[in-house]
Amino acid sequence: MNNAGNVALFQGDLAKARRDFKAGLRIANEVGFKNGIGVSLESIGNVLFETGDLAGAYQDFSDGYDIHKTAGEPTYFAGMLDDLAKVLREQGLADEARSRYSEALALKEKLGNEGDASESRVGLGDLDCDGGNPSEGESLARKAAQVFAAERQTNNEVAADTVLIRALIQQGRLPEAGAVAASASRLAEQGHALFYQLPLELQRARLVAASHDFTGAERIAAQALSKAEKAGLVRMQLEASLTLGEIQLRGRNHAGSRIHLQQLAKQAHTKGFERIALLAVSDLEAKNTHAQ
């Protein structure tokens, strides 16, 4: 049931994913399969994470981690550290998130699983870009993408490429970012996973904006926002709204972008997405300072 649920989640069918994961949890509980319970809790936590319930997601991830830790299954509980880290990042707790990702990476490298380790590298790469260290983010994302390509993990390769594009844009290396984006877009079409396509689309929007085509960038970001809203992917709605507001702020729609970002900051704060709320406020403050 968990495999079917993951397919549904990646395709943006959250209702089916939730049903399948809950069915998997019920079966695991009935037969007393501890690892199955842990895996199901992780899967349900992922649905909660994407639908904006960070507290619920963190609780399920914590419970799953405890189960796998007690059972002595390092491969499983290392993955749960990544899950805890991604919640902490959205809550604006970057140092705590980095600690979890780093712990997970060290454990996975010790186990010799480069594919799993590269998932932690992608998370760390995003944190490096968050913290203004895109060169390190580039290094981590590039290594992860190479591992995923060798292992034919298409969706994970798209995720790594998405962080790589972000890092390259931040360094002003737009032609390189464009080449990676073109390749990643072809991969994303093969994967048919909205879950991975939307973050890539948002980086494409930022890339187009960096080339001063603000109209084209707004269109890409608005389309991504519409898809996220239709699928009920709250986290991605907030991310897409932030991207759209930042593009509008850089373009000519200053008044509209201010209202948009003010509303986003309140919405994100209410839902506990402090990283996005702080970025929205920071964008407004930076624009106001520049205007003065």
Q: Dump pLDDT digits (tens) for 82-132.
A: 999 999 999 999 999 999 999 999 999 999 999 999 999 999 999 999 999
Domain boundary among 78, 94, 110: 94
- C-alpha span between 195 and 198 (Å, rounded): 6
Question: Which range of residues forms the domain containing residue 40?
Answer: 1-94
- C-alpha span between 179 and 144 (Å, rounded): 17
pLDDT at 78 over 80: yes
The total number of structural domains in the chain stands at: 2
Comparing C-alpha atoms, which of 207, 133, 139 is closest to residue 173? 207
pLDDT at 267: 96
Q: If you average pLDDT over residues 231-248, what whole number do you get? A: 95
HSE value, Cβ hemisphere, 13 Å, CA-based, for 194: 21
Residue 47 lies inside a defined structural domain of this protein: yes
CA 253 to chain centre: 27
pLDDT at 292: 40
Residue 187 lies inside a defined structural domain of this protein: no
pLDDT at 2 over 70: no
Residue 173 lies inside a defined structural domain of this protein: no
Residue 71 lies inside a defined structural domain of this protein: yes
Q: In terms of pLDDT, which residue wins out, 259 or 204?
A: 204
pTM equals 0.93
CATH code at position 54 = 1.25.40.10
pLDDT at 287: 56
Burial class (CB in 10 A: 0-12, 13-18, 19+), 211: exposed
Q: Dump pLDDT digits (tens) for 35-72.
A: 889 999 999 999 999 999 999 999 999 999 999 999 88
Radius of gyration, CA atoms only, the chain: 19
Question: Angle 283-285-291 (CA atoms, 0-180°, nearest 5)?
Answer: 105
Residue 179 lies inside a defined structural domain of this protein: no
Domain boundary among 69, 94, 119: 94
Domain boundary among 47, 69, 94: 94
Residue 183 lies inside a defined structural domain of this protein: no
Contacts of 126 (CB under 8 A, 6+ apart): 89, 137, 163, 166
Residue 280 lies inside a defined structural domain of this protein: yes
Q: If you average pLDDT over residues 206-230, what whole number do you get? A: 96
* Helix, strand, coil distribution of the chain in percent, nearest 5: 85, 0, 15
Q: If you average pLDDT over residues 223-229, what whole number do you get? A: 96
pLDDT at 291 over 70: no
Residue 221 lies inside a defined structural domain of this protein: yes
pLDDT at 134: 98
pLDDT at 288 over 50: yes
pLDDT at 79 over 50: yes
Q: If you average pLDDT over residues 156-172, what whole number do you get? A: 98
